[in-house]
C-alpha cells in the first residue's frame, strides 16, 4: 500500500495539517488545565449553535497563550499524519496542556469478538455520534467530556448537542493522542 508521501505533493500534505484559527493571549496567568478544558467545551457548544457541527480542533496551552488549530479530518492515513504532527508540535513547543475536540462515533460492545468492528462501520441503530472533548496536562491530569449529538430531521435545520456527560478515563479513549 503506498504511503501518503508517495501519493501526494508536499503542498497537498501541508494543506491537510492543522490550520491556525487564533491565538488567545491570557497573560499574566499560565492557563490551568481545567480552564483550558472549559474553553474547549465552550468552543464546541458555540460551534454547534452556529453551524450544527464542530471540526476537529486542538487548543494548545503554552505558558500564557492558547493556540487554536483545526483540521478537517479525512481518511485514517490523514488522521495519523495529523496526530503525528500534533504529538511532535506538543513536545517541541513546550506546551503544558492541550484540549482536543472532535465529533466521533461510539458504540457499546457486548461481545469482545465485536471489538474490532469500528463504530463507523456499524449500522446507525448500533452507534451514536458524540462531540468528544478531552484535555491532558503535562503532570498527567486529564478531563473527558462528551455530548450526544442529535441530528436534525428537518432540511436546513442544524444538529444540536444533548447534555454534557463527564467521564473518567476508565473508558476507552482511542483518538490516537497521548498526554503531553
Question: Are 92 and 129 contacting, i.e. CB atoms less than 8 angstroms apart?
Answer: no
Q: State the average pLDDT over residues 71-76.
A: 78
Helix, strand or coil, per DSSP, at residue 145: strand
Q: Which residue has the higher pLDDT, 89 or 175?
A: 89
**Neighbouring C-beta atoms of residue 57, cutoff 10 Å:** 20
Comparing 76 with 168, which gets the higher pLDDT? 76
Q: What percent of the chain has pLDDT over 70?
A: 83
Mention every residue, 6+ apart, whose C-beta is less than 8 A from residue 117: 107
Does residue 28 surpass a pLDDT of 60?
Answer: yes
Whether 133 contacts 140, CB under 8 Å: no
Quick one: cell of 71? Answer: 483540521
**DSSP one-letter string for 91-144:** HHHT-SEEEEEEEEEE---SSGGGTTS-GGGS-GGG-EEEEEEEEEETTS-EEE
pTM of the model as a whole: 0.79
Beta pairing partners, 97: 61, 137
pLDDT tens, position by position, 84-119: 888 888 989 999 999 999 998 888 777 777 777 777
Take residue 23 and report the three cell numbers written for it. Answer: 491565538
Amino acid at each position: 500500500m503506498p504511503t501518503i508521501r508517495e501519493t501526494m505533493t508536499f503542498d497537498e500534505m501541508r494543506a491537510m495539517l492543522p490550520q491556525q484559527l487564533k491565538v488567545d493571549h491570557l497573560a499574566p496567568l499560565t492557563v490551568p488545565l481545567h480552564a483550558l478544558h472549559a474553553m474547549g467545551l465552550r468552543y464546541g457548544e458555540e460551534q454547534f449553535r452556529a453551524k450544527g457541527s464542530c471540526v476537529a480542533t486542538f487548543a494548545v496551552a503554552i505558558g500564557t497563550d492558547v493556540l487554536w488549530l483545526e483540521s478537517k479530518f479525512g481518511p485514517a492515513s490523514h488522521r495519523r499524519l495529523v496526530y503525528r504532527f500534533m504529538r511532535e508540535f506538543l513536545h517541541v513547543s513546550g506546551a503544558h496542556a492541550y484540549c482536543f475536540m472532535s465529533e466521533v462515533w461510539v458504540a457499546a460492545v457486548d461481545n469482545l469478538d465485536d471489538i474490532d468492528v469500528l463504530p463507523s462501520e456499524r449500522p446507525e441503530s448500533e452507534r451514536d455520534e458524540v462531540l468528544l472533548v478531552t484535555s491532558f496536562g503535562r503532570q498527567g491530569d486529564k478531563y473527558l467530556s462528551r455530548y450526544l449529538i442529535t441530528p436534525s430531521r428537518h432540511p436546513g435545520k442544524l444538529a444540536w448537542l444533548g447534555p454534557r456527560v463527564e467521564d473518567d478515563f476508565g473508558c476507552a479513549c482511542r483518538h490516537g493522542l497521548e498526554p503531553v
